[in-house]
Amino acid sequence: MPAKGWIEVNELHCKGCELCVQACPQEVMSLDKTRLTPKGYHPVQLHAEGCTGCAICAVVCPEAALTVYRQIESRPVAAAA
């Protein structure tokens, strides 16, 4: 099962440049056209499930506006024995 992740967008910094939208390998990012940030840009959002927390969006983000989280998978303890 692929890892599950999600992003948090700092809307003060996001300028809606769409570099992360293009870079996302899962293609689950898009601009939220229904909202505006305090600076007047459409912020980026996750529009579907499938984020793996790979952080490629954060690597290409020029404004360091994204925080990326990933779910820690619980490992079976008995497997070592």
The single residue listed with the structure tokens 């989280």 is 69
DSSP character at residue 31: E
Q: Rule CB under 8 A: which of 6-65 touch another protein?
A: 6, 9-10, 12-13, 15-19, 22-23, 32, 39, 41, 45-46, 48-49, 51, 53-56, 58-65
Please give the Cα distance from 48 to 31 (Å, whole number): 12
Please give the Cα distance from 66 to 44 (Å, whole number): 9
The single residue listed with the structure tokens 């910094």 is 13
> Is residue 67 within the footprint of another protein (CB under 8 A)?
yes
Give the residues lining the site for another protein (CB under 8 A).
Answer: 4-6, 9-10, 12-13, 15-19, 22-23, 32, 39, 41, 45-46, 48-49, 51, 53-56, 58-72, 74
